[in-house]
């Protein structure tokens, strides 16, 4: 990959995806209130099946996401004085575990989308597409472990340092795409797929992530709405 | 503002906690709520209803937004009932609430459509320079061209056309048919006028003006109970639903009120709160049964045995053991029980009940000079002599024209000569010990064919010397029921537990499966309640009892019980027949417009059942024989005749109408009669009688399959003839339409006919043109040649009434007709305009010879009084109007049809208006209409306009006594003159009321009491409407021979069939099953009750009802049967017999008894219906496996109450006696028949050939 392409993919594209993600979400929220939904098909399927499929998927994918975020964008391990090799071991173990859990759940969901005619009829194209996209991204992520593990056994954590530096650069608007020039291709594809998830985000059911009703955890028992509007 | 920014108010968001912090008031964006508010916002509300055959007649508010109907809600502004009664509203059900879906649904017919092949042919002819009529002639005269478009009926292939072009073709076809064959070869079918009177009138007015035939529907649907005309001379008149609340004992038999009377059913449950006891008689555990105090799970089709056993108990305990004075008094005044019947000695020396004794039999005709043969006789206990009392039919048609004429047509029990009070003797036992051994017919399976019982009798001196034995109807009845009265009679029942003697409670158990103790207790309670409350015991019944071949037996068994208990005509009592009985209240306003009586009289009308039975050639497949149905005591002059033969004889004697009339064009017949010197109507009649006797002119029915006698054009509007009402659906497809059909039999049985000519080759595709006018594409549209887009019930002005309540309310155009649709009235107005244009050149002014039957409620109902003489058999000379059809001449100026259609003609002023034998001057109302509606210039001068739908509504409302108090007053004054009674008090207080459409749009209004109904409408809504109230409380006679409710039917044909008195006749086991029973097939009785998710074929195909039900056609079977056949719930099933096949989903349920397949009525084949693997044709409808059989006793005519009238009397199209085979279809065997039309399919419309080949293959036999 020459440096121009590298610049486009890892210097420009992340900001493009991020912009679409943010602006797109806001516009969708403004202009498609009634369409802001999970488009859930849970009612149409077996409860037991969904209990496993949906929970495995959601727990797995959320923890994988959290792992990426905490491990790469926060200094939490440094604060705890965890050595970098240990950090990498933790990341590897947790990532594989929850990645596999998410993969099992995701494949169950995909199977249901194909097998259950009611769900197939009720689902939109974008529902199927984003699920497949996420599963491919996840698969690629798990695939990178094939490179990470041998490195790790040799105490080599260079790649992680590169990613951390690269992501830090991205987050602080001082991108260093050139850092990634030597990274194995599977990492790059995984990253491109991952960034594309943000690009696709506003056009799919994924918007429901924005409005997870977390306030139910803290709100008062009885809420009444005032007649006057805000 | 922005949704997002509005949420980002963390710092200024007020928090107002309350309840110690458990709750909180928040302020947040609430715009999302508007989505829900907008769903129910609207610009306009209009009042309308659903013009559907359900008798609901519910007022609805139609909500319109942006010019689109968005939803409907129930109107709740009916006038209140009195404080003692619950109100009628809210009215409506899940079906009506789903109607707005149709307006914009894929079913909607948006533009005039025509079969592409027909259009191509027509345009080619026109392009060759021919005018429309010549073009149509060109198509019809070439058999291949005709086949080209008729053979693909039902196979799609429609293209869009215009009103201009489609109506031009229709008009051309009509003109051609009238010219070549005669106007009586054009027919029209539309059901139930009460549901939308103006729309019904549209087509029938056009057809009546051109001389075409309007077909009846009530008898054809088998909703007409022939027992009602037989007993009371009344088509059907029933209590409104609020009357259930005023009953204190109710038996419900064969009708499922929660399912089919949803808006009224609340009265049924409210009555129970009032303490009313309810007994449900139903073979299945129906929705009704759930509320009942007692369930009698009677075997399907055996209701007569059950009710006769109850009557046995009542006769024994309330008439013999103790004489309940209320019952006795009622019987003497309002029933024929005291009338005297002659006993005849047959060839074997047995005594047999014969006809009623008449005044003409008595010395000096009992002082009666006029109509003495039509006056019946009682025995007066005061003077100990035979007397002729007031009220029988002979008095009705005496000449009342003299101003001082005193009418005796009333129910005062007086001597008709002297006016002395009479006390009629109910039984001869009181005065004499003399008895006669009388032989009664008996039809229960496996029992003796006759029963001999002693009947108290006396001798009467006859005119011209000699004596005869007579007895009262009561004495006959008691003996007939096998009740022991201490006469030492071996034939009578020893006790209620006597299993061998019909009609005891113990005897019926083997037939009905009901425990005798339940029967005895119910009978006692029913009668005891009636005696204590003066008749507040009610029996509600419907299709489950009435849709059988011997329906009149089931019903007469019920009627006998309520008559003996004095319930008929009493508030909260009597019979309540609820199936298809919709009452068109403003009848006298409707009929003249509907039948165009303002321009020409009489209209051509025809009984539907005979028309379809003969013209769809179902008679050719007639496997039933008549002779086994005859009584052993029959005179039997027609022994050996087939059902079709009986129909020919009945038509010949003027009993039933004919369409077409003769094997000649009636226009040419009139011309020929004139040419041969006959000038007046009477002379033409004489000329025709001669021609008929010589055989120069023949009845069309005698050779029904001759192409000259085929019906050529058929109009269907507001109905679904083919997809719902075509009993013998596949025969319709085959013979009438020439379409793909699944008839699995050759049809050779009809060859035995004696009066009807047999053609070896059965005709196929008789119709040249079928036109459907509807808003919804169903099987009728799919098989038609031209489909016209009609306005829906929310797009036109119309009127609607029912007999479930006494209100009248409108249909209103909430929006203009969508797309290219038009109201029926405007559609036929367009056709009339096109017709006149073409007719001016091709037809001009012609005289039409109309052969009308001897009509009920006219003097012609006095036909042959004392026995049947058939001129066709040379027994008597042909006398039109007496023993042959009446002959009338009608002038038709065919160029003026359009202006006649849209104006009110001069005959109303000239001849007056009226109904049921009364006629009043209506000039004032016509003058009012001229001012109110405006006028236009016609050939008959300035005439009031009825060009727009709302003007037609106002014309109906102005002319009818129910909606115009002044007219009601006139009608009652005339009725007073006819009866010699005082009656105007019934409407005195409402004389000033005159309703218009605008009034009804503001609020539904309660109708006025009028003489065409026998109920009294209380303006305060305290006394509920019920049948026979004016008979029982005002003493107006029933319109029967005796003037009373008749237990006894003395017409020769009734006696021939053993039905002088009611008796139990088992359901027919129609021999229509396929010869070879295949593995895994069940043989089941096929029942077709009305269902929950549709009103006939309407609603059941809409998305909402499909979602709520099974998503397509389905039929119910019992768990036990299902297991035997390996059928699981929701499996595909094939239901099949020789008539055809239908494919449905199985519903397996405990609620169904064994041996029954219950397919809810009229599930269409337009949605989710695959092909049948046996017939390789589309799975069909319920009627794919039915075929009608007609009953000769329903053909009787010219005999008082047993005279024909449109939808009043005539053979009924029963279908419950059908047996079917049912088997499971595996999903792999389901063929959806998707694919293009091929030459092979087109050339073999009949399923029979392939079926024969495959059956032969499977069984290894030669076909």
Domains, in order of start, for chain B: 227-320+500-577 (3.40.228.10), 336-492+1045-1056 (no CATH), 908-1013 (1.20.1700), 1082-1259 (2.40.40.20)
Segment B1151-1155 shows an average pLDDT of: 94
**Nearest CB to A226 within list B26, B31, B32:** B26
* Residue boundaries of the structural domains of chain A: 45-211
Q: Report pLDDT digits (tens) over B1215-1224.
A: 888 899 999 9
In this complex, the residue of B17, B23, B28 whose CB is nearest that of residue A230 is B28
The overall average pLDDT reported for chain B is 95
- Run of H or E including B754: none
pLDDT, tens only, A173-185:
999 999 998 899 9
* Tens digit of each residue's pLDDT (9 = 90 or more) over B211-230: 999 999 999 999 999 999 99
Condensed to tens digits (0 to 9), the pLDDT of residues B1172-1208 reads 999 999 988 999 999 999 999 999 999 999 999 999 9
Q: State CA A170 to chain mean position distance.
A: 17
Q: Chain B contacts of A229, Cβ < 8 Å?
A: 27-31
pLDDT at position B347, please?
83
Model ipTM value: 0.81
- Which among A29, A220, A228 is the nearest to B17, CB-wise? A220
Mean pLDDT for B906-911 is 96
Tens of pLDDT, residue by residue over B690-738, are: 999 999 999 999 999 999 999 999 999 999 999 999 999 999 999 999 9
- DSSP lists the bridge partners of residue B454 as B437
Residue B1: pLDDT above 70?
no
Residue ranges of the alpha helices (H) in B142-289? 143-150, 163-180, 197-210, 227-232, 242-246, 257-260, 265-274
Query: Which residue from B247, B1105, B219 is spatially nearest to B606, judged by alpha carbons?
Result: B219
> Would you call B13 helix, strand, or coil by DSSP?
coil
CA distance linking residue B609 with residue B1211, whole number of Å = 6
What is the pLDDT at residue B1078?
83
Round to whole Å and give the CA distance between B178 and B170.
Answer: 12
pLDDT of residue B403: 67
CB atoms B24 and A224 under 8 Å: yes
Q: Which residues lie across from B379 on neighbouring strands?
A: B386
Residues of A in contact with B29 (CB under 8 A): 229-230
pLDDT at B982 over 80: yes
* Count of CA atoms in the C-beta half-sphere (13 A) of B992: 1
| Mean pLDDT within B1000-1006 | 96
In this structure, are residues B208 and B603 in contact, taking their beta carbons and an 8 Å threshold? yes
Nearest by Cα to B431 from B375, B470, B467, B390: B470
Residue B1262 has a pLDDT of 38
Determine the Cα–Cα distance for residues A11 and B346; give it in Å rounded to an integer: 117
What's the gap in Å between the CA of B281 and the closest CA on chain A? Answer: 41
B1087 within 8 A of B1159, measured Cβ to Cβ: yes
In this predicted model, what pLDDT tens digit does every residue of B617-676 receive, in sequence order?
999 999 999 999 999 999 989 999 999 999 999 999 999 999 999 999 999 999 999 999
Find the mean pLDDT for residues B818-825: 98
Asked if A225's CB is within 8 angstroms of B23's CB, the reply is no
Please give the pLDDT value at position B1071.
65
Rounded to whole angstroms, the Cα distance separating B389 from B368 reads 11
Q: Which residues on chain A are in Cβ contact (under 8 Å) with B35?
A: 34
Model confidence band, residue B1257 (pLDDT cutoffs 50, 70, 90): low
Predicted confidence (pLDDT) at residue B168 exceeds the cutoff of 60 = yes
B26 to A26: CB separation less than 8 angstroms, yes or no? no
Question: Is residue A230 pLDDT above 50, yes or no?
Answer: no
Residue B1143 has pLDDT above 90, yes or no: yes
Lowest mean pLDDT of B141-155, B177-191, B426-440, B783-797, name the range: B426-440
**CA distance to partner chain B, nearest, from residue A118 (Å):** 14
Residue A66: pLDDT band by 50, 70, 90 thresholds?
very high
Of the candidates B1001, B593, B606, the one whose C-alpha atom is nearest the C-alpha of residue B824 is B593
A111-130 pLDDT, tens per residue?
999 999 889 999 999 999 99
Residue A228 in contact with partner chain B when CB distance is under 8 A? yes
**Eight-class DSSP state of B1178:** B
Q: Is the separation of the CB atoms in B1201 and B233 below 8 Å?
A: yes
Degrees, nearest 5: CA angle B611-B614-B617: 135
Give the closest of A29, A219, A222 to B3, CB-based: A29
Nearest to A26 among B4, B21, B32 (CB): B4
Average pLDDT of the residues in B372-392: 96
Cβ atoms of B1120 and B1076 within 8 Å: the answer is no
Nearest-CA residue of chain A relative to B10? A230
Residue A188's pLDDT is 94
Q: What is the nearest CA distance from A32 to chain B, expressed in angstroms?
A: 10
Can you give the pTM of this predicted structure?
A: 0.91
Contact B35 A222 (CB under 8 A): no
Window 10-69 of B: residues touching A by CB (8 A cutoff) are 13, 17, 19, 21-32, 35
CATH H-level, domain A45-211: superfamily:
Transmembrane di-heme cytochromes, Chain C (1.20.950.20)
Q: At residue B405, does pLDDT exceed 80?
A: no
Q: Supply the pLDDT for residue B1263.
A: 34
pLDDT of B443 reads 95
pLDDT at B232: 97
Output the six-digit token pair for A61.
């994918």
3-state secondary structure of B273: helix
**pLDDT band, residue B591 (cuts 50/70/90):** very high
Instruction: Kindly state the percentage of chain B with pLDDT values over 90.
Output: 91
* Closest C-alpha to B175, from B978, B832, B778, B669: B832
Please list every residue in chain B whose beta carbon sits closer than 8 Å to the beta carbon of residue A221.
Answer: 22-23
- A44 confidence band (pLDDT: 50, 70, 90): confident
């Amino acid at each position: 990959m020459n440096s121009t392409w590298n610049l486009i993919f890892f210097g420009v594209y992340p900001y493009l995806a991020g912009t679409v993600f943010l602006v797109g979400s806001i516009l969708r929220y403004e202009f498609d209130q009634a369409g802001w939904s999970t488009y859930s098909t849970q009612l149409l399927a077996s409860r037991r099946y969904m209990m496993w499929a949906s929970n495995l998927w959601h727990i797995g994918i959320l923890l994988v996401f959290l792992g990426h975020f905490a491990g790469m964008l926060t200094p939490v391990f440094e604060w705890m004085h965890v050595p970098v090799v240990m950090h990498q071991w933790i990341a590897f173990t947790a990532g594989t575990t929850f990645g596999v859990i998410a993969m099992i759940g995701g494949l169950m969901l995909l199977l249901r989308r194909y097998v259950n005619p009611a769900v197939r009829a009720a689902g939109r194209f974008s529902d199927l597409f984003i699920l497949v996209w996420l599963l491919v991204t996840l698969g690629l992520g798990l695939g990178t472990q094939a490179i990470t593990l041998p490195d790790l056994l040799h105490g080599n954590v260079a790649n992680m340092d590169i990613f951390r530096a690269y992501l830090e650069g991205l987050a602080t608007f001082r991108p260093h795409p050139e850092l990634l020039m030597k990274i194995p291709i599977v990492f790059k594809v995984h990253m491109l797929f991952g960034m594309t998830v943000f690009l696709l985000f506003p056009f799919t059911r994924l918007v429901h992530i924005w409005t997870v009703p977390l306030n139910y955890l803290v709100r008062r028992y009885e809420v009444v709405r005032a007649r006057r509007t805000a | 503002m922005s949704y997002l920014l509005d949420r980002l108010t963390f710092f200024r968001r007020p928090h107002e906690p309350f309840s110690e912090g458990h709750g909180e008031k928040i302020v947040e964006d609430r715009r999302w709520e508007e989505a829900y508010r907008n769903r129910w916002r609207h610009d306009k509300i209009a009042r309308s209803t659903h013009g559907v055959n359900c008798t609901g007649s519910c007022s609805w508010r139609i909500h319109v937004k942006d010019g689109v109907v968005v939803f409907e809600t129930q109107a709740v502004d009916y006038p209140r009932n009195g404080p003692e009664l619950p109100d009628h509203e809210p009215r409506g059900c899940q079906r009506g609430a789903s109607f707005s879906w149709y307006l914009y649904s894929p079913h909607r017919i948006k533009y005039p459509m025509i079969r592409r092949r027909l259009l191509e042919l027509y345009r080619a002819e026109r392009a060759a320079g021919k005018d429309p009529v010549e073009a149509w002639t060109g198509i019809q005269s070439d058999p291949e061209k005709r086949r080209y478009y008729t053979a693909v009926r039902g196979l799609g292939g429609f293209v869009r056309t215009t009103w201009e072009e489609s109506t031009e073709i229709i008009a051309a076809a009509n003109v051609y048919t009238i010219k070549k064959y005669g106007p009586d070869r054009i027919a029209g079918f539309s059901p139930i006028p009460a549901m939308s009177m103006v729309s019904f009138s549209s087509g029938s007015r056009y057809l009546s003006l051109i001389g075409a035939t309007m077909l009846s529907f009530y008898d054809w649907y088998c909703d007409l109970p022939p027992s009602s005309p037989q007993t009371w001379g009344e088509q059907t008149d029933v209590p409104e639903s609020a009357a259930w609340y005023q009953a204190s004992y109710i038996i419900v038999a064969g009708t499922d009120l929660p399912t089919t009377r949803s808006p009224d059913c609340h009265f049924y449950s409210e009555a129970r709160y009032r303490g009313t006891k309810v007994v449900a008689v139903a073979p299945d555990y129906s929705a009704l049964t759930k509320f009942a105090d007692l369930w009698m799970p009677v075997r399907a089709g055996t209701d007569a045995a059950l009710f006769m056993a109850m009557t046995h108990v009542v006769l024994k305990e309330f008439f013999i053991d103790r004489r309940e004075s209320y019952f006795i008094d009622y019987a003497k005044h309002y029933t024929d029980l005291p009338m005297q019947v002659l006993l005849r000695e047959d060839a074997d020396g047995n005594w047999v009940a014969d006809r009623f004794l008449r005044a003409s039999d008595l010395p000096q005709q009992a002082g009666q000079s006029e109509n003495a043969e039509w006056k019946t006789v009682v025995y007066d206990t005061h003077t100990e002599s035979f007397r002729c009392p007031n009220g029988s039919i002979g008095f009705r048609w005496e000449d009342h024209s003299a101003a001082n004429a005193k009418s005796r047509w009333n129910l005062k029990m007086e001597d008709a000569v002297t006016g002395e009070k009479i006390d009629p003797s109910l039984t001869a036992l009181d005065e004499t010990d003399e008895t006669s051994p009388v032989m009664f017919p008996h039809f229960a399976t496996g029992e003796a064919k006759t029963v001999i019982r002693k009947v108290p009798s006396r001798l009467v001196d006859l005119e011209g010397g000699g004596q005869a034995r007579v007895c009262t109807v009561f004495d006959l009845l008691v003996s007939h029921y096998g009740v022991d009265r201490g006469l030492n009679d071996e034939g009578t029942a020893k006790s209620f537990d006597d299993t061998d003697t019909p009609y005891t409670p113990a005897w019926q158990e083997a037939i009905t499966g009901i425990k005798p103790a339940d029967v005895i207790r119910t009978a006692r309670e029913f009668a005891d309640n009636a005696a204590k409350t003066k008749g507040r015991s009610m029996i509600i019944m419907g299709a489950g009892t009435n849709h059988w071949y011997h329906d009149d037996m089931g019903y007469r068994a019920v009627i006998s019980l309520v008559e003996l208990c004095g319930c008929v005509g009493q508030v909260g009592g009597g019979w309540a027949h609820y199936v298809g009985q919709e009452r068109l209240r403003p009848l006298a306003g409707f009929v003249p417009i509907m039948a165009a009586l303002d321009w020409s009289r009489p209209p051509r009308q025809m009984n539907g059942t005979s028309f379809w039975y003969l013209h769809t050639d179902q008679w050719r497949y007639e496997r039933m024989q008549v002779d086994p149905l005859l009584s052993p005591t029959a005179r039997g002059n027609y022994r050996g005749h087939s059902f079709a033969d009986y129909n020919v004889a009945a038509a010949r004697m003027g009993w039933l109408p004919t369409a077409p009339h003769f094997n000649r064009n009636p226009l040419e017949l009139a011309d020929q009669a004139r040419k041969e010197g006959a000038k007046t109507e009477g002379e033409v009649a004489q000329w025709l009688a001669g021609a008929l006797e010589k055989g120069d002119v023949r009845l069309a029915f005698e050779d029904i399959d001759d192409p000259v006698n085929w019906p050529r054009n058929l109009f269907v509007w507001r109905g679904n003839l083919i997809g719902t009402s075509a009993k013998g659906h596949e025969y319709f497809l085959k013979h009438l339409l020439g379409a793909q059909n699944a008839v699995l039999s050759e049809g050779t049985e009809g060859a035995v006919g004696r009066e009807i000519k047999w053609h070896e080759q059965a005709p196929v595709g008789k119709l040249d043109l079928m036109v459907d006018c509807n808003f919804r594409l169903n099987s009728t549209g799919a098989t038609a040649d031209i489909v016209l887009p009609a306005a829906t019930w929310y797009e036109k002005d119309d009127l609607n009434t029912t007999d479930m309540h006494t209100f009248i309310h409108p249909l209103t155009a909430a929006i203009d007709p969508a797309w290219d649709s038009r109201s029926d009235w405007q559609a036929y107005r367009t056709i009339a305009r096109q017709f006149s244009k073409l007719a001016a050149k091709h037809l001009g002014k012609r005289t039409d010879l109309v052969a009308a039957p001897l009509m009920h409620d006219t003097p012609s109902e006095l036909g042959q009084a004392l026995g049947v003489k058939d001129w066709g058999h040379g027994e008597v000379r042909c006398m039109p109007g007496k023993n042959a059809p009446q002959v009338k001449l009608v002038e038709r100026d065919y160029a003026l049809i359009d202006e006649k259609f849209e104006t009110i003609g001069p005959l109303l002023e000239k001849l007056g208006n009226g109904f049921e034998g009364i006629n009043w001057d209506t000039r004032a109302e016509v003058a009012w209409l001229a001012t109110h509606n405006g006028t236009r210039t016609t050939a008959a001068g300035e005439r009031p306009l009825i060009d727009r739908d709302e003007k037609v509504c106002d014309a109906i409302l102005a002319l009818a006594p129910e909606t115009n108090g002044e007219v009601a007053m006139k009608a009652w004054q005339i009725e007073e003159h006819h009866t010699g009674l005082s009656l105007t008090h019934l409407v005195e207080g409402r004389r000033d009321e005159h309703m218009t459409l605008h009034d009804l749009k503001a609020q539904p209004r309660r109708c006025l009491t009028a003489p065409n109904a026998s109920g009294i409408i209380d303006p305060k809504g305290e006394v509920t409407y019920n049948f026979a109230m004016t008979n029982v409380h005002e003493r107006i006679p029933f319109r029967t021979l005796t003037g009373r409710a008749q237990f006894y039917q003395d017409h020769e044909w009734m006696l021939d069939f053993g039905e002088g008195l009611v008796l139990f006749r088992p359901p027919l086991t129609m021999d229509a099953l396929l010869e070879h029973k295949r593995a895994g097939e069940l043989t089941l009785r096929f029942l077709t009750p009305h269902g929950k998710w549709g009103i006939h074929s309407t609603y059941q195909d809409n998305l909402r009802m499909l979602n709520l039900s099974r998503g397509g056609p389905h039929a119910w079977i019992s768990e036990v049967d299902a297991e035997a056949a390996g059928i699981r719930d929701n499996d595909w099933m094939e239901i099949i017999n020789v008539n055809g096949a239908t494919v449905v989903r199985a519903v397996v349920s405990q609620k169904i008894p064994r041996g029954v397949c219950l397919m809810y009525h009229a599930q269409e084949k337009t949605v989710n219906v695959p092909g049948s693997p046996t017939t390789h044709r589309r799975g069909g409808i319920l009627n794919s496996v039915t075929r009608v059989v007609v009953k000769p006793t329903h053909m009787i005519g010219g005999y008082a109450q047993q005279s024909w009238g449109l939808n009043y009397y005539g053979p009924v199209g029963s279908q419950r006696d059908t047996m079917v085979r049912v088997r499971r279809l595996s999903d792999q065997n389901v063929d959806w028949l998707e694919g293009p039309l091929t030459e092979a399919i087109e050339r073999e419309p009949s399923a029979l050939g392939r079926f024969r080949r495959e059956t032969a293959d499977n069984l290894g036999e030669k076909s």
